[in-house]
Structure 1
Amino acid sequence: MVEAGAVSSSLTARGPWLVKHPAEWRQIGIVTAYLGVLASMVFVPACRNLPLLAAACYLSFLNTVVIHNHLHQGVFQSRRLNMIFRAVLSFGALYPASANIPSHNLVHHHFEDDGKPDWVAPTYVSFGWNLLNLIHFPNVAGPNTFAGVSRWARIKGREDFVRQYLVEQVVAFGLTGALLVYDFWTTLFFVVVPQLYGARCILRINLIQHDRCDTTSEWNHSRNFVGRAFNWVMCNNGFHTIHHNRAGLHWSSLADAHRREVVPRVDPSLDEPSMVLYLLRTYLLRPSRPPIRDVAKAETLVAQIDLAPREIRRAEAEAEAASA
């Protein structure tokens, strides 16, 4: 009995043997469900219907959320498995997942404090009718992002990144191309449409989370969506302020960290209880774009609180890129 207890304690101390954190099984489940729905629509004619197509589009968006989390902290203990998972995720989104390293981890997390403009800055769209900004944003942010990734990849010393990026392109476009050859119209409507839906929605999230916020502020640079059910499905991606300020935190810790560190410091109006209600209020019920939020009062209230300096965020992002 003592030996069994010792072995059990040893296994517990080592933690999960395959994934880095038990919560990662939720992300693996999301990706598995998404690929299962795509496969069913391709190979089972009875599954080619609007409800499953809608489910595939939603799961495609969640697949890009997993890309975001995975490129901050790999899901698996094994580096090789993490690289394979990147390729799988790339097929689901029809773009190389590793693009997140320069575009999101390095550039977006710094906004403009290091002299480099954010490739997905909300200021790239400026329609008077705010709904058009939401619709059009991926058409601008997408080309900006991939042009920036191409420039970044050409810098000497990034050969490993380029190699992995190429593998992901081959998997994403090669497998999609093979499916198009197998059954062109089925693949176009029931695979490519969901892939593109997810890829475009994750770009729109940048607009939703930062538009009309003060990206020069230490705590009021992001909008949070704090609903419990929403964040369970979204793997806590609604807690965006703490993610920006402490990118090294695992996504499963963000809710507690938000309550502990962000709530006492952030402008309360930047904590939205529901993304759906926010989208209705901001883009449908109000045609004009809201004014830029004045956070001067909130900044004064937290002026004496120890803030998370942007240099720490930059160091964390660069460490992630070096280890990726």
Structure 2
Amino acid sequence: MKIWKHTRRDAAMLALSLAQTATTFALAATWDGASWPWRLGGACLLVLMMTYNIIVISHLFTHVPWFESRRLNGLASMLNSLNIGQSVQRYQLFHVRNHHRYNNDRKGPDGKTKDLTSTFLDGEGGEHDGLFHYAFVGAVSTLGTTARALLSATRLWRVGEHEQELIDLAAKDPARREQELHQVRMDRLAHFVGVCIFLALSWRWTLFCYLPAFYLALALVNVQNYFEHFGAAPESRYTDSVSYYGRLYNLLAFNDGYHQEHHLRPQTHWSRMPEVRREHAARLEGAERIISPVPALLGFLHRDRPLLHRRPVVTAPAEEPSDTFSATG
């Protein structure tokens, strides 16, 4: 029986996920008797693990699930929903069906962006939103959404009627739609049970370490997304994102740096991103686009980044369709 949908190399991400879960519980269990240097180190490790999981592990999973079995993929989604503090299935619906459909678009005539996470959403005068507002105020909003999901125990963690954006992103096919919304519910349940265990192990750790670490991880993820698109021109599929080709980073982060290529072929397995770059080499090399000298999380160090979004908009030629998931599939 075939277990892995694409390659056994995805087992590395499963191992990292399990290691994160075990480490998180260990940090909670040892907090009360630990020294302050140990506590500080543990808090930093927690931020690092959650940030890495959201940016790399869960992100790649939302595009290309690891297993042939839908049940195993559901369990993996629950595992990492605990690890990242939010439903992986909900993440998939917003990220794949919204962000990768509209690709960090500018505001339209109605003054809104279609991409709900666009860096232009709260910007003025055709500019990106400010980094602080996008990263840290945006993290507060995500924190509130997560808190409401945890407290949805009164409806047994079902997706509520008020969650219209989430409902609209679910598949139109009734059977698939039911599966997706059920997975959101199971993810929320897994996170709720995990938080209850955290509180039982150490309520002090949960309040004074886990909660701040979760917030900082959310903010860092927003910094990552910000610099994956800052300065890029969203009018072309070949210039709407920023790539970083450092070998060590892409080895450790499963080719996360190939972000322009990822937007061109979002459902292509991470191991094939260099192939996507070669496949589209002529168009990519012929386009005026941004290649960063640093990973997106350190994008603020790219001081001389060209601001292509400020240049006159030229209507792009017809381009190949992406392989983004359709909500009707």
TM-score (norm 1): 0.76
* 1:71 paired to 2:62: yes
Match of residue 114 from structure 2: 117
Aligned to 1:253: 272
Aligned partner (choices 223, 242, 252) of residue 233 of structure 1? 252
Unaligned stretches of 5+ in structure 2?
A: 147-162
Tell me, yes or no, if the aligned pair for 1:226 and 1:239 is still in contact at 8 Å: yes
Q: Which moved more, 1:244-253 or 1:34-43?
A: 34-43
C-alpha deviation, 1:225, in angstroms? 1.6
Tell me the SS of whatever aligns to 1:168.
helix
> Could you say if the C-alpha distance between residues 137 and 120 of structure 1 is closer, same or farther in structure 2, counting changes exceeding 3 Å?
farther
Q: Structure 1 residues 148, 92: closer, same or farther in 2, change over 3 A?
A: same
Match of 2:98 in 1: 107
Q: Is the 8 A contact 1:219 1:241 kept in 2?
A: yes
1:217-250 per-residue CA deviation (whole Å, 9 max, x = no partner) reads 1200001121111112222111111111112210
Contact 1:93–1:196 at 8 Å: present in 2 too?
Answer: no
Residues 195-232 of structure 1, C-alpha deviations (whole Å, 9 max, x = no match): 33333433333222112322121200001121111112
Q: Of Structure 1 and Structure 2, which has the larger fraction of its residues in helix? A: 1
Q: CA deviation at 1:262?
A: 4.5
Q: C-alpha distance in 2, partners of 1:296/1:153?
A: 33
Of 133-142 and 77-86, more deviation after overlay is shown by: 133-142
Identity of aligned residues (%): 19
Distance 1:124 1:95 in 2: 22
Deviation at 1:265, TM superposition (A): 1.9
Residue aligning to 2:48 = 58
2:14 matches 1:28: yes
- The equivalent of 2:326 in structure 1 is 318
Cα offset, 1:31, TM superposition: 1.5
Match of 1:3 in 2: none
TM-score, normalised by the number of residues in structure 2? 0.75
Q: 1:84 aligns with which of 55, 75, 88?
A: 75
Cα separation, partners in 2 of 1:262 and 1:203, compared to 1, 3 Å: farther
Kept in 1, the 8 Å contact 2:239–2:288? The answer is no
Would the alpha carbon gap of residues 54 and 308 (structure 1) be closer, same or farther in structure 2, given more than 3 Å must change?
same
Quote the Cα distance in structure 2 between the aligned partners of 1:74 and 1:235: 14
Q: Please say if residues 61 and 201 of structure 1, whose CA atoms lie closer than 8 Å, have aligned partners that are also in contact.
A: yes
Match of 2:87 in 1: 96
Residue correspondences, number: 293
Provide structure 1 residue ranges, at least 5 long, that are not aligned to the other structure: 1-13
- The CA deviation at 1:270 is 1.1
133 and 19 in structure 1: CA distance in 2 versus 1, 3 angstrom threshold = same
AA partner of residue 51 (structure 2) = F
Aligned-pair distance for 1:147? Answer: 5.9
Corresponding position: 1:270 with 2:290: yes
Counterpart for residue 215 of structure 1? 234
CA distance in 2, matches of 1:253, 1:156: 30
Q: Secondary structure at the match of 2:309?
A: coil
Pairing 1:169–2:169 present: no
Q: 1:242 to 1:76 in 2, by over 3 A?
A: same
Q: One-letter code of the match for 2:9?
A: A
CA–CA distance in 1 between the matches of 2:68 and 2:25? 28
Q: Which of 64-73 and 192-201 deviates more? A: 192-201
Give SS of 1:87's match. helix
Q: 1:237 to 1:203 in 2, by over 3 A?
A: same
State the match for 1:41 in structure 2. 27
1:132 maps to 132
Letter in 1 for 2:290: L
| Paired residue secondary structure (2:280) | helix
Q: 1:42 to 1:140 in 2, by over 3 A?
A: closer
Cα pair 1:90 1:96 within 8 Å, conserved: yes
Q: Could you tell me which of 277, 288, 292 is aligned with 2:309? A: 292
By how many angstroms is 1:260 displaced? 4.0
